[in-house]
Structure formats: structure tokens, C-alpha cells
Amino acid sequence: MSPKPIVIVSSYPPRLCGIATFAEEAREFIQRANPNRDVLVVSHTDGKGNGVYPIIDLDRRDWWKYVAKKIEELDPWVVHIEHEYGLYEYKDNRGIGDGNEGFLNLLDAISERPLIVEPHTVHGRLRDFEANFIYRLSQRVDVLILKCHYQKWRLEWTLPAYGWEVPKNIMVIPHGARPDKLWSPEEIQQLRKELGLSEENGIAPHIVGMIGWIQSNKRWDILLSMWEKVHDEIFRITGEDWDLLAAGAMRDPNHRIEYEKWKEQTLELQQKGIAHYYEFIPRGDLYYKVMAVCDFIVLPSIDETQSGTLARIIALRKPYITTAPMEGLTAQTLESEGGLLFTTREMLKKKIIRLATDKRLRQELSNNLDRYLKNVVSWERVAQQYNEAYELARWAKSRGKRVELSKEF
């Protein structure tokens, strides 16, 4: 008899969704850590691939019944669910959502199975709905996985304010980063030629990158508006020529206004010979390659609980600058000591100039990211932590007990 499979429930490629990309990478490394088991995926109807069952149909109020039935058919060793509110929200013909009630119904329907849920949005200061949902979620699963320690200890403060007991089945497992994406300086020069981003194509020898999906919360306009002055100041100090590489694509049509405006601003800078616009779909190897040709990355996001973009920055050991205080971005920057933080436009300007004019600092931050990757967030380590969570869930189910883990503080 074959060992029972691990079943992941999530959005999945080719859907252009950060969690779909996350699930694809997670599955790869969970499979490596469990070579004797199949790792299968129950996805939305646009998911594809071997071992993928695309049956989540949010046009149906009772979508969760079909998912529960499929999970029973697959007879899993453990069920590992990636959660984001929008992934499981049924909306009626008036556009009114069900508040993820269907998702909670799914958990009730498969409650006999060892259950892991990994929410991708748990803000430090929860709204009433979010607090209630996280609490109800924690009561239905064996292990609730959060990405950052601050998310757990904030719950230890937030939930008692409602008069609720703090769940003890919360485990912190960081957002994984690939350990196998590192190019030598010589290989990076080849990548630049491959991508058409070499000096032969009129691109400066040094590149500041702003890479990823072009959407309103990423705030590319902040850097675009100051880049000309920043570029000139860097050249005055060092005599070195730097380009700003703004690379990515629009994912959500609701962000078309920002996309078109920021693309136009980049092209205006490109005509001045100090920036370059590069359109591509930010996923797969190409995402890593485009980021790899940059000397450092600027991630001026204004809303992130954790970031797939940051995971790629860490995988490539690229020094970076990002917004603070900003949930997981700030937490991982402090923990890794691999990036610089800014809170004002003037700080961002100073940090970019500092990083561009100090090669030793860039190397120091890169070395810190290398240690952080190897010791904390490598997918190989994360997959082993998932296995620990799976064992805890199975232990709880087999004994009819609740998982109880220690508090953060």
C-alpha cells in the first residue's frame, strides 16, 4: 500500500497570484522532504499540472462540499491549506461576500483529518472581523501557521482585549526562500546579455532594481519622482553611472491607472538615459534572473504582511531598501540585517545614495542575507518545519487532544 499523500489546498499556477506561486515552490520542497509520499494540490478551477485537482469553484455557494468530497477521496496523511480571504470568498448576485463562511464550513467538513492552515494575511492590529475569523480558524485546525513572530505575540495582546483565550496551537514558520538561486558576477554579466540589459544595450554598469507586480500598494512613484536627482548625486560622489531598472507587469486591472502612469514616468527617465523599463511576468526563473542583474533592490511597499518579492531578494542575497514600519517587511529586515529601512522620502533618498556609494556596505548586507537564508528561511529548513507541524497535527488527531505550544514572550 502506498503511503497516504499530503494534500495542499491553494490557488495554483498558471493563476497569476502570489499565493499560487508560493504554493508551487512550497510543494516542490515539501515533496523533496517527503520523497515517499505524493504531494497533491486541490486548487481553483484555473490550476493546472500533474497531481493538481482544479475544483474550487467560487461561483457556487456550496463550493466547499466538492472540495471536502475530493479530500475524502484522496485520503490524505495531512491537509495543508494556504489561506487568503479573497481565495475563498463566495459573493452572491449582489456582490455581497460570505465572510469566508464557506471556508470555515470546509474545515468543519474535513475535521477528522489532520489540519494545517497557513494564513497569508494576519495584520499586527486586527480589525474586528479579522480577529474573530482568526480565533474561529484556530478552533478548527490542529496547527495554525503564521509567518512572523510579531503576528503571534500581537495575538497574545489583541485577543485577550476581546475577552478571548489566546490559541495555543500557533506555530511560526517563515516564508520560504530558495537556496539554489545564486549567480557569480561572471554569470550575472551573461544574464544581462541574455535579458538585453547589458551595457551593450545602453544600460549602465550598475543597476538599482524595482522589480515585481505593478500595483498601487507598491508605490513605484516614490522612487520614480526622485530618481533623477538621486542619480545625479550618486554620479557626483562616485563618478559611476547607475540606472534604475523598473521591471514587472500589471496583474490586476484595478491598478491600470497606476501601471500606465508609472510606466510612462519610467519611459520618460529612459529617454534621459538614466532608467529602463522592462515588462515581464514576475514568476518562475525569469523573476529571479531580472532581479539578479541588480546591485540592490528598492521595495517601497505600503502594505505587506509578508512578501514574495522579499523572499526572492533574500534568495538572491541582494541588499535592499524597504518601508518601515511595515509588518513582515520590517520584521524580516530587522531579523536578517540584510536591508535598510526608510520612513520618509528624504530617508529613502539618503539610503539609496548611501547604498550606491558604499560597496562594502552592500557586501555586508549580502553576507547577512546569506546567513539568514541558510540558517532561517531556506525552503529546505521550512519544509522540515512543515513536517514538524504535520506530525503535531497527526498526534493531536490520533489522541483527540489540542496542540499546545509555548507563547512568544
Measured in whole angstroms, how far is the alpha carbon of residue 120 from the centre of its chain? Answer: 8
Integer Cα distance of 97 and 239 in angstroms? 56
pLDDT of residue 307: 83
Residue 370 CB: number of other CB atoms within 10 A?
Answer: 16
pLDDT of residue 240: 96
Integer Cα distance of 267 and 336 in angstroms? 34
Integer Cα distance of 202 and 3 in angstroms? 56
> Distances in Å between the alpha carbon of 252 and those of 59, 102, 213?
19, 24, 9
337 shares its domain with 393: no
Length of the chain as a residue count: 409
- Strand boundaries in 180-265, DSSP class E: 206-213, 242-249
Helix/strand/coil for 52: strand
Amino acid at 9: V
CB 206 within 8 A of CB 243: yes
Judge whether 286 lies within some domain.
yes
149-161 and 327-336 helices, crossing angle to 10°: 130
- Global pTM reads 0.95
User: 144-200 pLDDT, tens per residue?
Assistant: 999 999 999 999 999 999 999 999 999 999 999 999 999 999 999 999 999 999 999
279 shares its domain with 359: yes
Q: Which domain holds residue 271?
A: 185-377
pLDDT of residue 303: 84
Question: pLDDT under 50 in the chain at which residues?
Answer: none
Give the number of domains in the chain: 2
H/E stretch holding 101 reads helix 101-109
206 shares its domain with 272: yes
pLDDT of residue 172: 97
User: 48-69 pLDDT, tens per residue?
Assistant: 999 999 999 999 999 999 999 9
Judge whether 361 lies within some domain.
yes
315 shares its domain with 356: yes
pLDDT of residue 98: 97
205 shares its domain with 301: yes
Judge whether 1 lies within some domain.
no
Helix/strand/coil for 159: helix
pLDDT of residue 70: 98
CB 372 within 8 A of CB 382: no
